[in-house]
Amino acid sequence: MSNSIIEIKFVCGANKRKLFSGTSVYRSKSANVDTLRWYNKVVIIESSRTTTKKQPLNQHNSTFYKQIIKAICLYYVLERNPRPIREIAISQYVGTAREKRHSLGQEELKQVVSKGTDLTALQAIASSKAALLLEETLRGRAVLYAITHLVSALDSTSSFDRFERLWRAFNALYRAFAKKGSDHECHVALRDHIQQFPQKFPLSLKRVSSLTATNIRSHLRWNQMIQNNHATAKKAAMLRDSILRVEDYRILEIYRDSLTVREADLNSIGAIAAIQSHIATRTQSQTIRDSDVLSTLCVKYMYFVRNKIAHAERPDHSFSFLSGSAEEIEIQWLVPILEALVIDLVNISDTF
């Protein structure tokens, strides 16, 4: 018999139904493997490990605690219902006799999600890909961290909090995907992958396919983004290269209408003629490449937005005392696109 059995019980009035089963290890040299079973009412973890802590469920860095996080995270992906946790209990055994039991009841627990949270977006995540969070690998930890932030994003009532949590999920995934040392290198690798394999990103590409140049431009601070990202004449070559990489006429129309912002800098490196020719050719032919729109919005523009928030370059959003501010509308428009890209990345995480 296992040394310990962990039970995570949920408030659920339906008949008991099995959702999934799997195994998991800890980040240690131990060869022991835990067995996990997910039901709509309870998750059961059978472990060969023991604990000497008086309150193992209160030890945030304990192996029991980490295993429980994995179990709860995968439960919500599989069940897609914000069921409250009723009890978490650890029973430890010597032979067949139970030696001690530690438990936390519903009144002691801080719930992961609110009862009314809409988790239907999780239906788009393949169970087999979500289950990678059980691995103690780079990709396994990325999937675990990303899904915890995704679930928290779905539980957020503030659009700004939702965006920030989605960005954390995105960050965990693109770093595990690219395995590069800097955000810039990771962004380049992901952008290239989106361009090369658009079929791997069906949810997010569907989100951008019907957008028009007017619709995109009306929601974004495009000129501010260019001024921020290419603040000096020394960065004119980077702006030139950014424009010449794009084939989609919608993004190029927006660049065309913004060239005056950095026209002097582009002229200083003799780039303006080549840029104007490239834009004219693609806009006249109405070239469509949805992967350009997706990578521009998520990898380029949203990084600009995220940095403005994270680096405290703007007042905290709670001081937007009127509902429906321009910044709030922008964030609300961006969130569904980023959410879809996060899910697409989880669904290809087995290739990381």
Residue 202, pLDDT > 60, answer: yes
Residue 188 placed within a domain: yes
Residue 91 placed within a domain: yes
Average pLDDT over every residue of 115-136: 96
Average pLDDT over every residue of 187-212: 98
| 200 plus 325 within the same structural domain | yes
Final residue of a structural domain among 63, 92, 117? 117
Rounded CA-CA distance 80/126 in Å is: 12
Final residue of a structural domain among 91, 117, 143? 117
Rounded CA-CA distance 244/21 in Å is: 49
Domain count, the chain: 2
| 316 plus 188 within the same structural domain | yes
Rounded CA-CA distance 176/43 in Å is: 28
| 206 plus 304 within the same structural domain | yes
Residue 103 placed within a domain: yes
| 30 plus 90 within the same structural domain | yes
Residue 318 placed within a domain: yes
Residue 125 placed within a domain: no
Average pLDDT over every residue of 110-126: 96
Residue 126 placed within a domain: no
- CA distances to 38, 72, 75, 104, 330 from 85, in Å: 14, 9, 11, 10, 35
Rounded CA-CA distance 39/16 in Å is: 7
Residue 306 placed within a domain: yes
Q: Do residues 334 and 308 make contact, with C-beta atoms less than 8 angstroms apart?
A: no
Task: Supply 156's token pair.
Answer: 């957020």
| 146 plus 261 within the same structural domain | yes
Task: Supply 162's token pair.
Answer: 């939702």
User: pLDDT by residue (tens digit) across 239-274?
Assistant: 999 999 999 999 999 999 999 999 999 999 999 999
CB-CB neighbours of 98 under 10 Å: 11
| 177 plus 245 within the same structural domain | yes
Residue 122 placed within a domain: no
95 falls in which pLDDT band (50, 70, 90)? confident
| 35 plus 64 within the same structural domain | yes
| 149 plus 249 within the same structural domain | yes
DSSP line for 91-152: EEEETTEEEEEEEEETTT---SS-TT---GGGGGS-HHHHGGGGS-SHHHHHHHHHHHHHHH
| 342 plus 256 within the same structural domain | yes
Full domain range(s) for residue 302: 131-351
DSSP line for 20-56: EEEEE--SSS----EEEEEESSEEEEEES-----SSG
| 211 plus 304 within the same structural domain | yes
Residue 55's pLDDT is what?
74
Residue 29's pLDDT is what?
64
Rounded CA-CA distance 158/332 in Å is: 9
User: pLDDT by residue (tens digit) across 292-330?
Assistant: 999 999 999 999 999 988 766 667 766 766 677 888 999
| 45 plus 70 within the same structural domain | yes
Final residue of a structural domain among 117, 143, 168? 117
| 73 plus 155 within the same structural domain | no
The alpha carbon dihedral of 125, 127, 132, 133 has a sign of: positive
